[in-house]
Amino acid sequence: MNRTQHILPSGLVFAVGVWITWISYTQAPAEAFLFPRLIATVFVVLAGWTFAKAVMGKSKVGTGLSRSMMLNILPGLAVMGVYVFWAATAFGFYTATTVAFFVLLSLYDPSSHRDAWVWVKRAVITAGFIAVMYALFALLLKVYTPREILF
């Protein structure tokens, strides 16, 4: 088993976690970033633990990421990049999240793309996901979400 296949992905996740955590602790207003700070801190601790295990050679699960696995992940990474760096601020959090979730669900759902009922199922799942997101963030936690064009 090649240790690099464990070190590179876990190091990348740890670096992204550190970046997100740093952003959540340096942005204002501080009250708006309270919930993201909590999640980011837990995330970076777990990612650091995984990265340390990989560096020490104690990762005993799986064989790392193969070329075919990376090719399967690339469309999702592209959607994530567009979402994070453009769509969320251009269209608003909930609108961009709806589109991104629907696209990801369509990309990775093994069901046929020719069946109309599958598209209805994807739309219903997306609507349910966004309803839960809205209920969780806006109603239950009462936390700030980025507001732009639509909401």
pLDDT in tens, 104-148: 999 999 999 999 999 999 999 999 999 998 888 878 877 766 665
pLDDT in tens, 51-88: 999 888 887 666 666 788 888 999 999 999 999 888 88
pTM of the model: 0.68
Residue ending a domain, among 19, 49, 64, is 64
Residues 72 and 136 in one domain: yes
Residues 136 and 74 in one domain: yes
Residues 45 and 98 in one domain: no
Residues 144 and 88 in one domain: yes
Residues 92 and 58 in one domain: no
Counted domains in the chain: 2
Residue among 75, 80, 66, 69 at smallest CA distance from 108: 75
CA trace torsion 83, 86, 91, 96 (10° rounding): 0
Range of the domain at 127: 66-151
Residues 80 and 126 in one domain: yes
Q: Is 59 helix (H, G, I), strand (E, B) or coil?
A: coil
Residue ending a domain, among 11, 45, 64, is 64
Residues 6 and 35 in one domain: yes
- Sequence-separated (6 or more) residues with CB below 8 Å from residue 101: 126, 129, 130
Residues 126 and 76 in one domain: yes
Residues 54 and 75 in one domain: no
Q: Is 146 helix (H, G, I), strand (E, B) or coil?
A: coil
Tokens describing residue 28: 């204002």
